[in-house]
Amino acid sequence: MVTKLIFDCDPGVDDAVALFMAFAAPQDLEILAITTVGGNVAADLTARNAAIIRQIAGREDVPIHAGAKVPLIRPPLDAGDFHGESGLGALPLFAPTKGVEEGHAANVIVDLVMRHGPGEVTLAVTGPCTNLALAMRLEPDIIERLGLIVVMGGARREGGNVTASAEYNIWADPHAAEVVFSSGARCVVMGLDVTHQVRSDPARIAAIAAIDTPAAQASANLLAFSSALERDIVGGAGAPIHDPCVIAYILAPELFTLRPCQLKVETSSRLTVGHTAVEFGLQDPAAARIFWATHADADGVFALLNELLAR
Ligand code: BDR
Ligand code: CA
């Protein structure tokens, strides 16, 4: 069955690799729209970066709609340290031949979800949740109508990657994340507990670099950039490929283990804002709407990534 997908992202090095994966799977994913949000870098750059990746992938048939420039409440804060000034690391840039389409991302999400049948549209979110939260506020009926939402965000066992307890996407717009996770929509959450298990070590990058397609060559460049930064700033073996876990889950859910949970986002504490409080002790696990990823088959994710990049 083909999954109808809206891919909301803030490219971003690892968002870009996730985009290549999604673009390479037209027989499994019908991408209704790419929507972009200010996050890793400013909103005009994330939209442009999505258009660059689309062109490298040869998928100009997929529309891109730019969205929120700033978070709902907190001031914007970027992650240029980890994604380079452009947001795409050291990838050679060019002006994309095709730009973004008219229409704000939040309106496009509302229109597409309402135009399709109940449960028909899946949402991948690999940046701050601002666009989706805006869409849920614009038209609350989308909440019931949406299919699965797969979000990269949050941390439990691993602790945070921006502050002691907060992961970047949630920290960048905690209020938007709280709107999404408290909405009652069905969400699968790929937090750092699982994305830290999926790392692009030198052997894995070399395997991608050996694939002779534009998407693989660009991905090897992007992953080499983030792995070098990870080594210099954090130490340790290879950068986690956070956002590709979202697309890997949508294409091959058997690669991940999930646990039903309740998830609340800290929005007001000075020290722990953006913390995801993930509670597994549920009275009625069968009624859970949120599923927290606890384990990934990293070799399986890379095998899938390599297979897609070779297409
Ligand atoms: C998340 O933050 C961003 O910098 C990455 O693109 C990813 O979505 C990881 O914390
Ligand atoms: Ca991202």
For the chain, domains (ranges, CATH) are 3-309 (3.90.245.10)
219 vs 222: CA distance, rounded Å: 5
CA of residue 49 to ligand 1 center, whole Å: 15
Global pTM reads 0.97
Instruction: State if residue 169 touches ligand 1 by the CB under 6 angstroms criterion.
Output: yes
How far is 306 from 288, CA to CA, in rounded Å?
34
Q: Is the CB of 193 under 6 A from ligand 1?
A: no
Lookup: tokens for 88: 């795409």
- Region 220-238: what's the mean pLDDT? 88
> 87 and 40 in contact (C-beta within 8 Å)?
yes
With cut-offs at 50, 70 and 90, classify the pLDDT of residue 236: confident
CA of 4 to the centre of ligand 1 (A): 24
Give the range among 80-89, 132-141, 143-152 with minimum mean pLDDT: 80-89
Arithmetic mean of pLDDT over the chain: 96
Pick from 242, 249, 275, 276 the residue to mutate for probing ligand 1's pocket: most ligand atoms within 8 Å of its CB.
242
Cα of 16 vs centre of ligand 1, distance in Å, is 11
Query: Contact, 34 vs 50, CB < 8 A?
Result: yes
pLDDT exceeds 90 at position 25 = yes
Whether the per-residue pLDDT at 237 is higher than 80: the answer is: no
d(CA 19, CA 269): 34
pLDDT, mean of residues 203-229: 96
Structural contact between residues 47 and 9, judged by C-beta atoms closer than 8 angstroms? no
DSSP three-state, residue 7 = strand
The model's pLDDT over 143-190, given as tens digits with 9 standing for 90+, comes to 999 999 999 999 999 999 999 999 999 999 999 999 999 999 999 999
Whether 242 is a known active-site residue: answer yes
Q: Which residues of 83-97 are buried (b: 16+ CB within 10 A; e: fewer)?
A: bbebbbbebeeeebe
CA neighbor of 180 nearest in space, from 250, 219, 130: 130
Could you tell me if the CB of 239 is within 6 A of ligand 1? no
Give residue for tokens 């804002």. 273
